[in-house]
């Protein structure tokens, strides 16, 4: 179990839901604070932003390699520097965003993208750190964050098993005691058939850490299914309205959807339970609605039990239906009135 402020994260705690603001503030601090408030009202447990500038993430260069050209890419035609300059969260906004989230009972933290971001976030005393999929092979950054000694959540998009092994060992060897990996598909939006959440229990066993899901699919179905496979953390991009636009709006959840995610993942977690057979305590009261053997017509002593005078009906206070063939043709030792349950004594 990992404790973050007032929240417990682990198999015996409800799923920890992270609302990722990313660039959905659309360069408005007022909107950013509205997103925080909407996330809290939706029931999200944490609010995450990203800490970088265009200059800490890329170079102000035009041309091949710095232009997104992939067919079907949400940001096709955009220059990396311009895209990151539009999406970044000004560092002077971090404190008011974090303060508002904490006032509303949420955990507030961020994804740093370089050493300067970690140093800055340390001045704000963030309780944990997130590493993005595209940075999960940046071992110097992993070391820097691990050295803070705070819990780390790392998205695993694109990483193979060897790279994840290196990541986990680097984090643990450099001071990270609490590590959570998030299964992630680094496409935007992602499709359910390309999500492969069957990896979640395998990853948990392979690296002996908690595993969750960073989910870029639409809707709640994939996240709910992930919880049944043992995901303890669910991260989803969040916005006030996709219609408002913004760099990540197309694959972000709206408030009503986030509320449904919180509720449905908790229901899924509650439903996992344990391996059990037979009636539960709550079911025992329903046993009476099973079928059993009853007298269907008055029977006199010395008459035989027949298909006309005994039947398998509800309620279930009589002998189990499996004994019905054994009763047919047997002579009644006493008289019975219609509606009397047949008992085991009547079979002897």
Q: Is pLDDT of 73 > 80?
A: no
Enumerate the β-bridge partners of residue 253: 238
Torsion of CA 225, 226, 229, 232, to 10 degrees: -130
Q: Would you place residue 70 in the very low, low, confident or very high pLDDT band (cuts 50, 70, 90)?
A: confident
**Cross-strand pairs, 67:** 79
pTM of the model: 0.89
Query: For residues 181 and 197, what is the distance between their CA atoms, to the nearest angstrom?
Result: 13
Per-residue model confidence as pLDDT tens digits over 122-135: 999 999 999 999 99
Please give the Cα distance from 30 to 73 (Å, whole number).
29
Q: What value does the CA radius of gyration of the chain take, rounded to a whole number of Å?
A: 30
CA distance 61 to 54: 11
Residue-wise pLDDT tens digits, 154-176: 999 999 999 999 999 999 999 99
Q: Which two tokens stand for residue 14?
A: 């409800």
Helix, strand, or coil (residue 46): strand
Q: With 90 as the cut, is the pLDDT of residue 248 above it?
A: no
Summarize pLDDT for 6-23 with one digit per residue, the tens: 999 999 999 999 999 999
Provide the mean pLDDT of the chain: 95
Per-residue CA distances from 215 to 156, 326, 329, 345 (Å): 11, 58, 65, 61
């Amino acid at each position: 179990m990992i404790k973050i402020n007032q929240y417990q994260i682990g198999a015996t705690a409800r799923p920890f839901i992270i609302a990722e603001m990313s660039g959905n503030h659309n360069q408005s601090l007022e909107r950013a604070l509205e997103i925080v408030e909407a996330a809290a009202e939706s029931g999200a447990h944490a609010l995450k932003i990203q800490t970088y500038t265009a200059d800490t993430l890329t170079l102000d260069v035009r041309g091949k390699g710095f232009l997104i050209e992939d067919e079907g890419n949400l940001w096709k035609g955009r220059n990396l520097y311009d895209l990151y300059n539009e999406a970044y969260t000004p560092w002077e906004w971090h404190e008011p965003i974090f303060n508002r989230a904490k006032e509303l009972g949420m955990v507030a933290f961020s994804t740093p993208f370089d050493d300067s971001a970690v140093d800055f976030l340390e001045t704000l005393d963030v309780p944990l750190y997130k590493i993005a999929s595209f940075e999960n092979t940046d071992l110097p950054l992993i070391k820097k964050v691990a050295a803070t000694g705070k819990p780390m959540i790392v998205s695993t998009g694109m990483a193979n098993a060897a790279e994840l092994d290196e990541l986990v060992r680097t984090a643990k060897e450099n001071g990270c005691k609490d590590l959570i990996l998030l299964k992630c598909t680094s496409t935007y939006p992602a499709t359910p058939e390309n999500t492969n959440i069957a990896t979640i229990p395998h990853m948990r066993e392979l690296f002996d850490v908690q595993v969750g899901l960073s989910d870029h699919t639409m809707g709640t179905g994939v996240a709910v299914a992930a919880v049944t496979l043992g995901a303890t953390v669910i991260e989803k991009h969040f916005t006030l309205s996709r219609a408002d636009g913004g760099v990540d709006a197309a694959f972000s959840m709206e408030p009503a959807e986030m509320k449904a995610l919180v509720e449905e993942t908790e229901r899924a977690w509650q439903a996992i339970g344990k391996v059990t057979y037979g009636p539960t305590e709550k079911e025992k009261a329903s046993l009476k609605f099973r079928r059993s053997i009853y007298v269907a017509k008055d029977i006199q002593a010395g008459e035989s039990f027949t298909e006309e005078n005994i039947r398998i009906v509800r309620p279930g206070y009589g002998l189990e239906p499996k004994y019905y063939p054994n009763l047919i043709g047997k002579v009644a030792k006493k008289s019975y009135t219609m509606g009397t349950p047949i008992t085991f004594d009547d079979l002897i």
